[in-house]
A and B are shown apart, each in its own frame.
Chain A
């Protein structure tokens, strides 16, 4: 099981204020689907406009990234640059 942390206000709104929970998923794609099942709209929000930090490694615009067992997952806004 991966432990998911939500710190931003947008995602928190979709989890009903829940900031920590466990999810069974071994890829970002499966995480997105599971998030959408539990918190309708959150998976789409993550896929479209958020990044997923897996054990500190920030991944975005990918559904393929593997999620190792017992990972720490952070849902954060997508990052750009200049």
Chain B
């Protein structure tokens, strides 16, 4: 059922109620992954590889096991050997065998920090001491960090069973290039020959971490009968259950996962790292085990997103019509195959209505932690290249950058470069709103510049469950199967309240564990407000039908003769009879006498998540002496479908921009010659802080998604797509230098100014 025939009639959706989880979070009462404590609980610690690439010759745990207080030690031998099997349990395809070997190295260590053993002991100090006593003999192997060096002939080979997929004939030799992907539309070579203006560029980005504030943490407890419970912070309790069951050879029904509050994920908590180890240690020791990563562990051993190389060539006519677009992508996957090069290739030109496109991408392994999803995986990397090149094209054509984008913009009916014909999209509307924003009228001073960039993300739906329970006093509990990483409890409560016709304050939203709510795919892909919101709305509709039936029973009339309005049952008309209206609370108080508790649970597999588009405008000032870039103004316009809770939506936009600005200006992993990470902490890996940024102006455009009961589209990922190019284009505007390599940190800006680098443009 669609509830937005007239948005003005909405009473809850679109308002800004107080956050249901706010009080606990600001007072420190919220319970995160590390906060769980059980009687007899042990502390776990991990022995990690000191080498970037090495063969494990032997592991001697005897000294650790002999240490008083040590209750269990596990190595790869304690986990079943997993066959190669692709799975879509988390975000993106993940091979179970690779995941098992990422959690615990089996024959080789593939990056510094790779786990080789784990211990559980009666104190943190004993666990750390025991880990240090584990003796591992290695044969150190040559390593490779850089993506293009990993692709080169003669590069150190990480896996002897990885053969480049997507090429014909199938290669006979193994390679670090795990996959080649290609998307072709039209005839790029022929169209490029007709271009009157061509711009080209080669861009590089560094791997960056999701930098969630809360490190990975969990508590696992396995009973003597094999029943296991896990409390952890993740983006999906069902994902944790599925991965742990597979990696430990357990039944799904033997594992119950309780979702803790989550202190940020951004895609990085769509995998397991600690949970299988904690379960194995608990199973072996017979005691509950808590494991908590340090920040160093997080940097050394959990997935950042890829770094990449992006080569772009755009051809256009003199009036600004892009006739051909070509893109080559080389993405680091980390230690195992599976970079987001495919979505990067698909999204590269999704903002534009183009007839001739060719995108080729390579997925490349190297001696770094296996990458994990990060907001709109891959899209920000290709967008950095594409949107920088579009800016160069605007300059070469002497066109306004928004006008050039308007001329080539994707709209309803455009056949996207990745295939489908687009519908119900709001890209042109974002360009229009950006053009007319007051920030565009602000005059710029010396060394100041303005940059425009756009972005696209698909958004997804998928399997979700939601339940609505009416309490005896007329209050309502909404249960969903998705961890709340961006305000989903608020939006679930609001959608339920809207359907039920009651104030949102009477609805308490919670996140259910794996045994108390139906299966729900993880929180990611900007899917929860769309898909789980659909399940919750439908559950609320079912509850309304029950409430009408209960009123009918009390009045002794037909349920069809009852209307539901503003949380109250009314006779549908004079023919229904004359009765005093029955509010929800009154019906609830008599529910026992009219059939029992009023409750409904709905599970859906939601399809048709509408894609999101954004246009960003960034103003910067560059200090030519130091190379420091100050963000003066930032305007982020986004098609959000329908904002259920606008404050949360604005927060998503502002958060995405902030992470993108960090990616643009500061964040990078620094490896030494031995392939060891030299900046595994927030002092040396610099994420933006509040004083680095102005207030980000988030502008919401609402082009509703007809597939959602309230028109919602995913909003959490698009806002990280344009910022790197928006900042780069602003720097180009400020100082006349095109920056091709991220991060655009002060030394690089200074070096570029010294070199007097000029934008690449050729006719």
Q: Which residues of A contact B (CB under 8 A)?
A: 5, 7-10, 13, 48-49, 53, 55-62, 64-65, 72, 74-82
- CB-defined contacts of B714 to chain A, threshold 8 Å: 81
B92 CB contacts on chain A under 8 angstroms = 80
Report yes or no: B376 in contact with A79, Cβ–Cβ below 8 A: no
* A53–B420 touching, CB < 8 Å: yes
Contact B717 A53 (CB under 8 A): no
Tell me which of A64, A72, A81 contacts B460 (CB under 8 A): A81
Q: Which residues B439-473 have CB closer than 8 A to chain A?
A: 457-460, 462-463
Partner of B524, one of A10, A55, A65, A80: A80
Q: Which residues on the A side are within 8 Å of B527 (C-beta)?
A: 81
Name A9's contact: one of B182, B373, B525 (CB within 8 Å): B182
User: By the criterion CB–CB under 8 Å, are B181 and A9 in contact?
Assistant: yes
Q: Can you list the 7 inter-chain pairs with the closest CB atoms, starting with the nearest?
A: A81-B525, A82-B267, A53-B420, A74-B419, A82-B373, A9-B182, A59-B607
Q: What is the predominant secondary structure among interface residues of chain A facing chain B?
A: mixed
Partner of B373, one of A13, A60, A80: A80
- A9 partner residues in chain B, CB cutoff 8 A: 166, 180-183
Contact of A81 with B717 in the complex, beta carbons under 8 Å = yes
Q: How far is the CA of A71 from the CA of B134 in the complex (A)?
A: 62
Given known A-B contacts A76-B346, A79-B525, A61 and B183 have beta carbons under 8 A apart:
no
Residue of B168, B607, B717 contacting most chain A CB atoms (<10 Å): B607
Partner pick for A49 among B88, B377, B421, CB 8 A cutoff: B88
Closest CB in chain B relative to A23 CB, distance in Å: 16
Interface residues of B in 589-632 (CB under 8 A from A): 605, 607-609
A-B contacts at CB below 8 angstroms, number: 114
Q: Taking the complex as formed, is B266 at the interface, i.e. its CB lies under 8 A from any CB of chain A?
A: yes
> Binding site of B, secondary structure by majority: helix, strand, loop or mixed?
loop
Residues of B in contact with A, size category = 35 or more
Q: Given A7-B185, A56-B421, A76-B420: A82 and B524 within 8 A (CB)?
A: yes
Q: Please report the C-alpha to C-alpha distance between residue A10 and residue B86 in the assembled complex, in whole angstroms.
A: 15
- Nearest-Cβ distance from residue B608 to partner chain A, whole angstroms: 4
Q: Is B300 at the interface (CB under 8 A from chain A)?
A: no
What are 9 inter-chain pairs, A to B, with CB distance below 8 A?
A: A56-B420, A58-B460, A61-B463, A76-B346, A77-B346, A80-B343, A80-B524, A82-B374, A82-B376
Q: Are A58 and B267 in contact (CB under 8 A)?
A: no
Contacts of B374 in A (CB 8 A): 82
Q: Which residues of B contact A74 (CB under 8 A)?
A: 419-420
Within 8 A of A (CB), among B189-228: 210
Q: Which of B342, B420, B422, B524 has the most CB of A within 10 A?
A: B420
The answer to whether B608 and A82 have CB atoms under 8 Å apart is no
Contact flags B55-98 to A (C-beta < 8 A → 1, else 0):
00000000000000000000000000000001010111100000
The residue in A7, A9, A64, A82 that gathers the most chain B C-beta atoms within 10 A of its C-beta is A82
Q: Are A81 and B420 in contact (CB under 8 A)?
A: no
